[in-house]
Structure 1
């Protein structure tokens, strides 16, 4: 590894101008809570601090910033830092930020540049292996991200970021490209041993699986083929999960006059497939995600309360209930007796 003090010989010279001029020109210190230092001699640190901020602006992205020559040299990374060397992510070089920004968290007012919530996603120290106008190689030491990364310029402000080390979590698995949903078998009666089952409402909606990664979501339908979700659902649901990759199962139904994605299962989370995990544990994991928003809701489930759920479904004029065995695994693409669709009205 090249010592840091030698690598600085390749660094971009700070120049005689005000390196924060562009930053100041975009911000009104009277309107934004962001630090806007006055024009003066820049403070100098040890050139070894980095921060990653999750920025819920018009589109979710992550801001990667390195302390360098008295400022924070910055890139906006729309999909976050890659966890594996198999994938490169776009990184857009942005204006230098003041050192004080390394501790900034807060809400930038709507209408201001970069309006939206900013949270610190990770921070720590870094070592420089190379720093030039076209390539930056660093070793990160954070609490959530660590390892060797390289940023390389492609065109204009557009760069790419590549992980040079093996995957941070060797056991992590990517989301599947497509997964046909599990289907319930039709029955006329509720299961006899209600304590072994949980019960959900049948919403009579459109089945939709959501593949959420890097703050975005794509969808597949009944047959596992690509499908469209309600307008803006993908970006908003992606923002709700942030950097956590997840595969969700649910259906789009009309509630109070609005299309709503009702989520009733989680099949993959944080690099771990959950198909073989019992239904009860999957539902508890899903509840723990706290997914509730303007276009989506976590659907309720009721262990051992089949009769009451069926009566409630009848009162709400819903078509029925779905009984699911508490110990059942998820069976993609198949109709299973572990899930049973029971009409709300007795035939």
Structure 2
């Protein structure tokens, strides 16, 4: 009988990594457990591992499990892992194979509908991962994973930024608005999916922001501003969060969801917002040399393009 863990052990030194390095596979084959680990290695990915014949057959999935059957995700077949990996989490030292932080993203059981060298059909029963999937081999170790069945989330919104209309004075019904600084920068919508964002192509420092979301999908609205000589993304709205579109929700709901994310980092921050009293905000904008302030109706949905629900009041 071949040693199913030989390749696994050849890549690891038990004296240098906290990973389990057993001598032989488990002696009780035939189980139906699975684990998905979020792996912040050289590049963020998720490791899908299925118990089979005493080991965990494994694939690295860079963008995580697909939520929509219309989109397949790459799944790279890797070496079999020991059963002890079902619960493994921790820090693999830098310089070691797979160095980085690993956490258990989900675990549960699965059913096998088909298993061959080129195709694996399964039904996952986990807390976060559930449903029918098929893994199919394309070339070499490269496979694809496809969700079978309906999408499990709202589609990502494809919208233009909501834009304020200029007014000389604050609204008379100030209690119906929240007030924010106008930073004088460039608006930027940042979609985040699978720990990545296409906005990082122009602004590489956004990769760190995207990775911090893990598997959580979001669309952020912000303004690229230069503060203290450094470029900063000031985040002011949230259009999509964890599978749910928020564009039809009122500003208050979107704002609460944004604040719950607690987004503060080296190149990004959540914009402050003050409901009901424009005077101090406008005065502070003048003192800081900002172009003005924004008034946003508390009950307004997100409306692409110019909207009377958002007002720009110059300093």
TM-score (norm 2): 0.93
Instruction: Look up the match of 2:10.
Output: 25
Whole-angstrom CA distance in 2 between matches of 1:41 and 1:281: 51
Cα drift, residue 158 of structure 1: 0.1
- Does residue 75 of the first structure (1) align with residue 47 of the second (2)? no
Match of 2:204 among 207, 210, 231: 231
Cα drift, residue 141 of structure 1: 0.9
2:166–2:313 CA contact under 8 A, matched in 1:
yes
Whole-angstrom CA distance in 1 between matches of 2:202 and 2:187: 10
Change (3 A) 1:160 1:314: same
Instruction: Look up the match of 2:156.
Output: 175
Which stretch of the first structure deviates more once superposed, 126-135 or 254-263? 254-263
* Count of aligned pairs: 315
Whole-angstrom CA distance in 2 between matches of 1:278 and 1:42: 54
Whole-angstrom CA distance in 1 between matches of 2:171 and 2:90: 51
Change (3 A) 1:153 1:308: same
2:25–2:55 CA contact under 8 A, matched in 1:
no
User: Any gaps of 5 or more consecutive residues in structure 2?
Assistant: none
Whole-angstrom CA distance in 2 between matches of 1:214 and 1:339: 32
Match of 2:95 among 111, 126, 129: 111
- Does residue 272 of the first structure (1) align with residue 252 of the second (2)? no
Cα drift, residue 255 of structure 1: 2.9
Whole-angstrom CA distance in 1 between matches of 2:9 and 2:277: 60
Cα drift, residue 327 of structure 1: 1.1
Match of 2:289 among 305, 311, 317: 317
- Does residue 207 of the first structure (1) align with residue 179 of the second (2)? no
Change (3 A) 1:275 1:166: closer
| Alignment root-mean-square deviation, CA | 1.8
User: Any gaps of 5 or more consecutive residues in structure 1?
Assistant: 1-15, 220-226
SS of aligned partner of 2:283: helix
- Does residue 50 of the first structure (1) align with residue 31 of the second (2)? no
Whole-angstrom CA distance in 2 between matches of 1:291 and 1:43: 46
Q: How is 1:3-22 mapped onto 2 (pairs within 5 angstroms)?
A: 16-22=1-7
SS of aligned partner of 1:114: coil
Whole-angstrom CA distance in 1 between matches of 2:262 and 2:249: 19
Whole-angstrom CA distance in 2 between matches of 1:307 and 1:94: 60
